[in-house]
Amino acid sequence: MMHAGKDLKSSRSVSVQSQLVWLEQLLWADFAAGREAVMLLQHHLSSMGPECGEDTSEAATAAGSLPPGGFLLSEGSGESALLADFHVQPDTGIIRTARRLDRERRARYSFAAATLRGDVVQVEIAVADVNDHPPRFPRDRLRLDVSELSPPGTAFRLPPARDPDAGRFGTQGYALLAAGEPPLFALRYGRPAPGSPPEPLDLVLLRRLDRERAAEHRLVVEAWDGGSPRRRGRLRVAVRVLDENDNAPAFSRAEYRARLREDAAPGTAVCRLLATDPDLGANGEVRYAINRRQSDPDGYFAVEERSGVLRLRRPLDREARALHRLVVEARDGGAQPEVSSALVSVAVLDVNDNRPAIRLLFLTESGGPRVSEGARPGDYVARVSVSDADEAGGEPGVALALRGADGAFALRPAGAGVFFLCVAAPLDRERRDLYELRLVARDGGAPPLSAEQPLLLRVADLNDEAPAFAQPHYRAAVSEAASPGTAVLRLSASDADEPGSPNAEVRYALEGAPAALALLRIDARSGAVSTRARLDRERQAALELRVVARDGGRPPRSASARLSVRLEDANDNEPRFERRVYRGRLPEHAAPGRCLLQVKATDADADQFGEIEYFLYDGFHYYEKSKAFQIDPRTGQICVSQDIDREGDPTTYDLLVKAMDGGGLSAQAFVRIEIEDINDNQPVFEQATYVTSISSHAQPGTEIISVVATDRDLGIYGVVTYELVPGEFSSLVTVDATTGIIYLISALSHLAHSALFLTISARDGGGLSSAINAAVTVHILQTALAPAIFERSRYAFSVPEDAPEDSLVGTVRAKEPPDSVEVVSYRISSGDPQGRFYIDPRFGMIRTKEKLDHETQSVVMLTVQSQLGNSPVYSSTQVNISVIDVNDNPPVFLTKSDKVIISHTQPPGTAVYIAHADDKDSGLNGAIKYSLASNQSNAFNIDPSLGVVNLTRTVFEDKQQEYTLHIAAEDHGSPPLSSLLLLTVIIEEQKMGPTLVFQNLVYQVEVSEATPPGAQILQIQAHSLNPHGVTSKLTYSLESSTDSVAFGIRADTGWIYLRKYLNYEYAQLLSFRALVSTSEDENSMQNASTSVIVNVLDENDNSPVFMPESYFFKLEENPVPRGVVGTVTAVDKDSGRNGQLAYFLLSDGKYFKMNSNTGEIINWVALDHEKQAHHQLTVLVTDHGSPRLNATAIVYISVMDINDNKPIFPQVAPGKELSAKVLEGQPSGTLITTIFAKDFDSGNSGVILYSMESGKNLKWNP
């Protein structure tokens, strides 16, 4: 409260309604200038003044109307600013400003005014705003980063301007100054409602930015208010445009053109490409590359990635490609790079690097390099074109020259690079048939290059020469036995025309009598005259013909000669035996030389062709002569040549007798000789000593024992009888002469001896006695106990040989004495040394113990003894077991297949072959019958019992070279068994034997490869079968072949000598033919040939060679030896001991050894990489020749390391500890000590890593 005047306390107190009187004083420009604002405080009652809310002006507030006494003021807010800002005149009530008001500091005042009379008036003063503040931005400058790829319409928020003034004096809008034309940016804002926060201000992008045009935009944003004049505030905005990869690199040119010589070296710079990219950083970094898909797939060029320099990578060839077009790409370094391309054209400049090319087109009739000798001068031979792949430029063209024509041919130019090769002079093939022409082309380069084309031009023949025989009359002889097709002689006519051409191709023909033409013919091409049909000298002894030779020209030319052929008598009759099969018998052990039969063959031919010689061969394998028999070659007497034992040797011999006449024709017959048995074997006892016992109480008639003897002879000679040799005890016993059983014939109780000693002899049916008699000892047992007596003195059983093991054969039984209570036991005492049988000791049943074989032993004689308890007295009986044969063996031929050769002229009935099979079975099981199981024709049959294959008809007309027969041998068993023999009968066409023959059909000789040239190695000799047939000198020669070039022969003596050294390593065997002829006259020439085989003997002329010369092996170190490390191998071209190699170590025998035979290197001492990591060995190989040759090789062995060594600390002794001292209080990280370890291994095995197993307060640096 404050006093408005001194009369306030005396003013009356009235209770009136306080009215709010608004006193407003607008502060205009004069107020702002400091003029005092005056306000009148009126006191209105509710009945007196104007209505509340009416305007009151300064004129209405007269001073005389104010209530007296002053005012008391009270500010409701309790603030003191009222009195500081206003003064109230108590008398007048005028309120005046005490200082300048600031609406922005305080816009309203509210207080109460009370009069002294007690009237209270509420006074509200509102400070009216004036435009005394401009709009102001928070900052004067602002920087925005805007991507140049920001799309139009993008808004960027700006801070709005603030104006403390209110109403229209506040911020009314914004303007963008210096926005450019057309503007890039615009402002977007709104007008805020009264009392609302200011609307946001956005800077809006109107168009796309381009950093490359303007990297920064400077804008001025102006804010203005509503005053008059307006107040303004500015914000400077710097817009920095951020770079984006929106520009592709741009080449300086769309196409680059360059030229480069074709001989430019790789690496030569062609040109430099330049592409720029206005983008910044990596977006503007340009790299170059050639687009290989679109250009230069062969990689002739390369471009440097950063500099853009285009360089040559491969040599160029303008002739292959004169222009190279490249597509070079420039690529920036953006995340999504931009690419552009440029075309580079590189023209290849020519250099003279190509020789001229010559091309020929023959214009002859044949289209080839042949010109007829009838060609006229001026005729075209060929069209010649020359070209040069190089560019001509200003240089002269290609020049062509002809050389070697010798005036016969010439070149005629026909235009640019075209010439014609023409005939320049008459041609004559007989004078010159070949022209070696050369076409030389030279270009105009610097230096010039030339090319040469050889041309072999042959002169074609015209048929201007007739064939010519070497002689006008030819004579020849042929045997009447010559078969159709036999060569008589070969005629030859020559033609001087061009060889190989139809003009010189001679055809031959025979002319003459039809009878002669029916017997001879001539080969039209070779001129070989041969027989057309069989000849008969008796009907026509000579043939006269004319031979015509005709060439193939147009028209043909011909010549003729006379031919005389004489027919010679031939050996056309074969020997014939009187019989096909001869049979003979011979007693065994006949004296050698004893003849048992004679074979006889006749031959209708005369002289030497009728003379017969006999040969004897073993059986059907007549490749070897018989050893047991021999034949007189003249008489045919067959005699024994050695001792034959029927029991040890075959009982039947099948022999083949061959009869051969002087011309080489032969016939054959078979001889079967059966060996007769004689009494040459004495009986032999199965046992030399027999021992048995008998009771002294045995009664006469008791069987004591049985003895057995056999004789190998047959029939009566094999029948054995037995005799008791007189002796001391012979009166007490007797022996059955047939069975060999010894019986007691006298009582023994009175005998004082304890044993009887007997001798038994055996005699066969021929009177031979056994060489060794059987000694029988009979022990007499002084006991009252009688033995168990067998029911039968002899038992006979039979068992089949295929009986299974443990089969029952039979049972023997002995009866014990009536008063005996002992048990009888049985055992086999003799007769079964192989143990094939056993007997049940209690029941006497005999069983098989093993498989039986009738063929091995058909009869077994056992002696079985019976014993009563443990009594020493026993009795015996003989058990004869017959092993019955079963058909378990098929007939067996000595061979599965065989062949026989017969003449095609053999008559029917000829014995061709004897088939012989053996069957081990006996009886019907071993009886064999033969048959032809497969017979291709009816030309053969077979004797079913003898197995002789006979010819049933002639085979001449069959024209078949061989026949195949399947001979079956079948026994008579049930079921029968059989086997087959494949017999091939080869039909040989026998020809007349040669008049001139060599002593040997084949000569063989061994020659060392060290034999010098000129040495004689072998002499061959020929002779005539007819002593009167050859009177001229014999001439020897060698047939030309690759094998005979190393040899020569003395034409008169037949000595073959060396022309050059032989080489075993090239050829170990050389085979060629040697020839002999009787005369140089073709009409009467006789010749023969033989084969010469030279076995080349090796000499030690090749040193061993290692393959390769050095060896490299690797192996890991190991505490034990590794054994074989590797193998070295050498080869020696020599053979035998000369090529047999031995290996030796010349060094380092400490760790390694060598297997001298195999070349294996053997580690025999443990290897340690740390001691020695590499070993070098020298290996020597030597052969076993004389002198020895050798070679050496180096072997490198690397010992590979393994992790076999532990790391060690060298500064610490083994078993000790490392001690280190550190002062207390040391900071963390203090270095205490440094330790290090060593590992002798290498590589990763020697890399050491450190770790600490304990020590919490220590740090370890590994």
Q: So what's the pLDDT on residue 1054?
A: 92
Indicate the pairing of strand 309-312 with strand 301-303.
Answer: antiparallel
Q: How far apart are CA 687 and CA 64, in angstroms?
A: 199
Stretch among 80-84, 356-360, 745-749 having the lowest mean pLDDT: 80-84
* Chain segment 81-95, per-residue pLDDT in tens: 667 788 777 777 788
Give the pLDDT score at 1120: 75
Report the alpha-carbon distance of residue 429 to residue 459 in Å, rounded: 5
* Per-residue buried b or exposed e for 733-747, using 16+ beta carbons within 10 Å of the residue's own CB: bbbbeebbbbebeee
Torsion 416-422-424-430 (CA) sign: positive
Task: With a cut of 50, say whether residue 53 has pLDDT above it.
Answer: no
Q: With cut-offs at 50, 70 and 90, classify the pLDDT of residue 150.
A: confident
**Phi and psi at residue 768, in whole multiples of 5°?**
-80, 135
Q: 482 near 1075, Cβ under 8 Å?
A: no
Residue 997 confidence class, pLDDT cut points 50, 70, 90: confident
Q: The whole model's pTM is what?
A: 0.37
Closest CA to 809 of 842, 841, 849: 849
24 pLDDT tier (thresholds 50, 70, 90): very low
Q: What is the pLDDT of residues 684-743, one digit of tens each?
A: 998 888 888 787 777 788 788 888 898 988 888 989 999 999 988 888 899 999 888 888
- State the Cα–Cα distance between residues 51 and 21, nearest whole angstrom: 10
Confidence grade of residue 77 (pLDDT, cut at 50, 70, 90): low
Please give the structure tokens belonging to residue 1101: 């002329």
Query: Across residues 1061-1075, what is the average pLDDT?
Result: 86
| DSSP state string for 1086-1103 | -EEEEEEEEEEEP-S---
The tokens describing 466, both together, are 């007739």
User: What domains can be seen in the chain, in order of their start residue?
Assistant: 20-126 (2.60.40), 141-242 (2.60.40.60), 250-349 (2.60.40.60), 357-460 (2.60.40.60), 468-568 (2.60.40.60), 996-1097 (2.60.40.60), 1105-1200 (2.60.40.60), 1205-1262 (no CATH)
Q: What is the mean pLDDT of residues 198-216?
A: 86
Q: How confident is the model at residue 74 (pLDDT cuts 50, 70, 90)?
A: low
Q: If pLDDT is split at 50, 70 and 90, which confidence band does 4 have?
A: very low
pLDDT at 934 over 80: no
For every residue of 510-560, DSSP letters joined together read EEE-HHHHTTEEE-TTT-EEEESS---TTT-SEEEEEEEEE--SSS--EEE
pLDDT of 995 > 70? The answer is no
Q: Tell me the pLDDT of the chain averaged across its residues.
A: 82
C-beta of residue 1095 within 8 angstroms of C-beta of residue 1005: yes
Sheet containing 323-331: give its strands across: 255-261, 339-349, 323-331, 287-290
639 has a pLDDT exceeding 60: yes
Q: What is the mean pLDDT of residues 97-110?
A: 81
Does the structure show a pLDDT above 50 at 7? no
- Please list, in sequence order, all residues whose beta carbon lies within 8 angstroms of the beta carbon of residue 734, skipping any fewer than 6 positions away: 724, 742, 743, 745
| Count of residues in the chain | 1262
Confidence band, pLDDT 50/70/90 cuts, at residue 1194: very high
pLDDT at 393: 58
Query: Quick one: pLDDT band at residue 23, thresholds 50, 70, 90?
Result: very low
Radius of gyration of the chain (CA): 72
The pLDDT assigned to 984 comes to 87
| Average pLDDT score over residue span 610-616 | 87
Over residues 648-669, the mean pLDDT reads 83
Are residues 1245 and 1201 in contact, defined by beta-carbon separation less than 8 angstroms?
Answer: yes
Confidence of residue 179 (pLDDT cuts 50, 70, 90): low
Query: Residue for token digits 């003395």?
Result: 1050
- What number is the average pLDDT over the span 419-438? 88
Residue 307 φ/ψ region, left for φ over 0, alpha for ψ in the -120 to 50 degree band, beta for the rest: alpha
Q: For the residues 753-759, what does the mean pLDDT come to? A: 88
φ and ψ at residue 717, rounded to 5 degrees: -70, -15
Highest average pLDDT, of 141-145, 571-575, 1024-1028, comes from 141-145
CA-based nearest residue to 1096, from 1076, 1122, 1066: 1066
CA distance linking residue 815 with residue 838, whole number of Å: 21
Cβ–Cβ under 8 Å, residues 222 and 233: yes
Is residue 64 classed as helix, strand or coil in its secondary structure?
helix
How sure is the predictor about 1181, in pLDDT bands with cuts at 50, 70 and 90? very high
- C-alpha to C-alpha distance for 642 and 976, rounded to whole angstroms: 38
